[in-house]
Chains A and B, each alone.
Chain A
Amino acid sequence: MQKRDNVTAYLFLSPWLVGLFAITIGPMIASLYLAFTDYNLIEAPAWVGLENFTRMLSDERLHNSLRVTFTYVFVSVPLQLAIALLLAVVLDRGVRGMAFYRSVFYLPSLLGSSVAIAILWRQVFGTEGLLNQVLALVGVEGKGWISDPSTALGTLVVLNVWTFGSPMVIFLAGLRQVPTMYYEAAAVDGAGPLRRFFGITLPLLTPIIFFNLVLQIIHAFQSFTQAFVVSGGSGGPSDSTMFFTLYLYDRGFGNFDMGYASAMAWFLLVVIAIFTGVNFLVSKYWVFYEN
């Protein structure tokens, strides 16, 4: 009986399984093979062994793209989570019209990685963009934020931080799980709001913070659309917004070097896996599970 149930289960899963193998696993295996070849998209791939990987060692634009990506991940993710947590705590206190605020704050998360918003960003931070017009009102002379290599990445960080809505909603759900009796007991003992936050809210929320951290880091490593659209596909100015994914795309599709691009994709997978692994290892020391 149970055996037959299993068969039925697999059959019902099969549409998803077909998708997994045809759309995800299949191309992944293909790209693993291509990573060891010289493949220009048009002619048949030729086996070159580890050459693509050794080339990465001396590719300075690749090293630059790693720098850019790491800066982006390590600046934007903590900022984004801090703001998400802060707003979640404020909203959780029972602000009137909370459902409205929750929706409004969540909106950027839905839009943030879209092409439309990236185009909007180009306009807002351009030489004659909205930001400079506002700055001009208060007598400050602006500049071309997205076309200056020293500030272009900053505008992308702001864009990512702005999509704090999705971790915020998860934080809000987490906050609801904190039993109110702890707060009542703490209040009786005379603990102030700050003490209650650091003594109760934060420790009980660590699993949620951890979850958001893992998710957002992976997400940030894979960012592509924003940089692609904002820089007009060039990763510019001067490679200052050349994310690893964007460089991968540039090599693969702009430069007919799909073998190398595949090798880069697998390298990125390893980097993300390492960071996620480290995250899990370190979590033992700071994440607190109630039971």
Chain B
Amino acid sequence: MTRLKALAAVALVSTLLVTSACGGDSGGPAAKDGEVTLRFSWWGSDARTKLTQATIDAFQKEHPNIKIKGEYGEWAGYWDKLATTVAANDAPDVIQMDEKYLREYADRGALLDLKKAGDLKTDKFAPETLSAGEFDGGLYGLNAGINSFAVLANPAVFKAAGVALPDDKTWTWDDYNRIAAEITTKLNGKGWGTGVIGANEAGLNLWARQNGESLWTPDGKVGVSAGQVTKFFEYVLKLRDSKAIPPAEAVTQDMTASLDQTTFATGKLAMGFSWSNQLNAFSKASGQELKLLRIPSTTGQAAKNGSYYKGSMFWSVSSRSKQRAAATQFVDFLANNAAAGNILLAERGVPPNTEIRAAVTPKLQPADAASAKFIEEISKDLGEPSPAPPVGGGQVEKIIQRYTTEVLFGRLAPDKAAQQFLDEVNGELK
């Protein structure tokens, strides 16, 4: 009898082992009659997710044998999740990638060289738009849209404050502070002039570029001096002391809030710093017709404000994808197919494919049309392209947020914050 029990136990255990072994194999291709499943991940607002899903549907209609599973989330959690899945050898096949992390993944062999992937055509791309995703002779990220750092203005709040929209071709940082402070005063507790600069590294980069430096050098080092970072943090303090920005806690809260919940999106700010393609998402979230303004400069000349075209994001394919052909086919569709272009429009930035750009421009919704127009207008005033961040440079956003917070709460003086900021950024570079 006991022997029988023992046998039963053995049977039970072996069944368990076999089932768990099967369960572990979920990452493999679910090949059934040549059917292929791709996983595709992106970050962004609800507006983007809807457009992206519609594009996926269009692709699936053309390619009934390819199923695409979307995985999406907020910017903040996206990178942790991507790192985890890549480490677990379970990366999505098609990845929406940012400049900050492109080298981080590509240099470690996690991304496929799209030039070697075959099916991808890039002949219609404006040449300077490809270079941002190209290094060491390979193409690891395909530009998904062009954008530029800008000031986002909410005319309704300007109107409520009784302040005229400024001339963004001549304004200086002092003008910016003065106007924002005036708005705060006139709104009398109902809102503030602007969000803070220093909630990401783009503001610092432009500040540096206006002063003959840049955040990164082409050979992958830190290119900004302690003196300029100090001046930058001093300006952050100036904004705080003139009450141009909300109280420190509200500013800090915005740094980790989802776009829809930020003070700007909820209509409490007249101005904010943002990437031009986010005009669409902020317009939808706030329900207002927003405007893009050029970044102020030190000298009052917009042509010297250091602006540059950035690849808003990139399409990358995992080097471990078992469905490379299908994945590349999908990236090709996203970049070069008119149907996709007509759905995505300029939500991820102005299309780098010149043919698609020409085709979609007349169809753009007001918000996207405005950002496309902005991108067009600043083209004659652009500075040098900005070097891509080196490996380890992806951390700089979190680092500058931390030091901006320290400065805003008065826990570190600007010069101390600048020195510690640089030490830490240098420490992260590998």
Residues of A close to B247: CB separation below 8 A: 127, 143-144
| Most chain A CB neighbours (cut-off 10 Å) among B5, B83, B109, B255 | B83
Residues of A close to B160: CB separation below 8 A: none
Which of B9-17, B38-46, B121-129, B340-348 is near enough to bind chain A? B9-17
Number of interface residues of A (CB under 8 A): 37
Q: Is the CB of B10 within 8 A of A239?
A: no
Q: Closest residue of chain B to A13, judged by CB?
A: B9
Chain A 2-31, CB within 8 Å of chain B: the 1/0 string? 001101100110110010000000000000
A258 at the interface (CB under 8 A from B): yes
Contacts A8-B5, A149-B411 known; A232 to B76 CB distance under 8 Å? yes
Q: Is the CB of A237 within 8 A of B405?
A: yes
B156 at the interface (CB under 8 A from A): no
Number of interface residues of B (CB under 8 A): 43
A40 at the interface (CB under 8 A from B): yes
A234 to B397, CA, bound (A): 11
Q: Closest residue of chain B to A10, judged by CB?
A: B9
Among candidates A42, A149, A234, A258, residue contacting B76 with C-beta atoms closer than 8 Å: A234
Min Cβ gap B128→A in Å is 29
Among candidates A14, A18, A144, A236, residue contacting B9 with C-beta atoms closer than 8 Å: A14
B413 at the interface (CB under 8 A from A): no
Interface majority SS on B: helix, strand, loop or mixed?
A: helix
A148 to B252, CA, bound (A): 8
A261 to B383, CA, bound (A): 40
A238 at the interface (CB under 8 A from B): yes
Q: Is the CB of A148 within 8 A of B249?
A: yes
Which of A155-163, A182-190, A249-257 is near enough to bind chain B? A249-257
Residues of A close to B5: CB separation below 8 A: 8
Contacts A14-B13, A147-B250 known; A43 to B256 CB distance under 8 Å? no
Contacts A42-B110, A255-B395 known; A236 to B13 CB distance under 8 Å? no
Min Cβ gap B136→A in Å is 16
A233 to B248, CA, bound (A): 19
Chain B 401-430, CB within 8 Å of chain A: the 1/0 string? 110011001010000000000000000100
B380 at the interface (CB under 8 A from A): no
Residues of B close to A42: CB separation below 8 A: 86-87, 105, 108-110
Min Cβ gap A194→B in Å is 43
Q: Closest residue of chain B to A23, judged by CB?
A: B20
A41 at the interface (CB under 8 A from B): yes
A37 at the interface (CB under 8 A from B): no
Q: Is the CB of A256 within 8 A of B104?
A: yes
B190 at the interface (CB under 8 A from A): no
A7 to B7, CA, bound (A): 11
Q: Which residues of A from 72 to 121 have beta carbons under 8 Å from B?
A: none
Residues of A close to B257: CB separation below 8 A: 232
Q: Is the CB of A254 within 8 A of B249?
A: no
A146 at the interface (CB under 8 A from B): yes
Q: Is the CB of A238 within 8 A of B402?
A: yes
A132 to B10, CA, bound (A): 61
Residues of A bordering B, CB below 8 Å: 4-5, 7-8, 11-12, 14-15, 18, 40-43, 126-127, 143-150, 231-234, 236-239, 249, 253-256, 258
Q: A14-B9, A234-B398 are in contact. List 5 more A-B contacts (CB 8 A).
A: A4-B2, A15-B16, A126-B253, A234-B401, A253-B87
Question: Can you pick out 24 interface pairs between chain A and chain B where the beta carbons lie within 8 Å of each other?
Answer: A4-B6, A8-B9, A11-B6, A11-B10, A14-B9, A18-B16, A41-B86, A42-B86, A145-B249, A147-B249, A147-B251, A147-B252, A147-B253, A232-B256, A233-B80, A233-B256, A234-B255, A234-B256, A237-B402, A238-B405, A253-B80, A254-B79, A254-B80, A255-B428
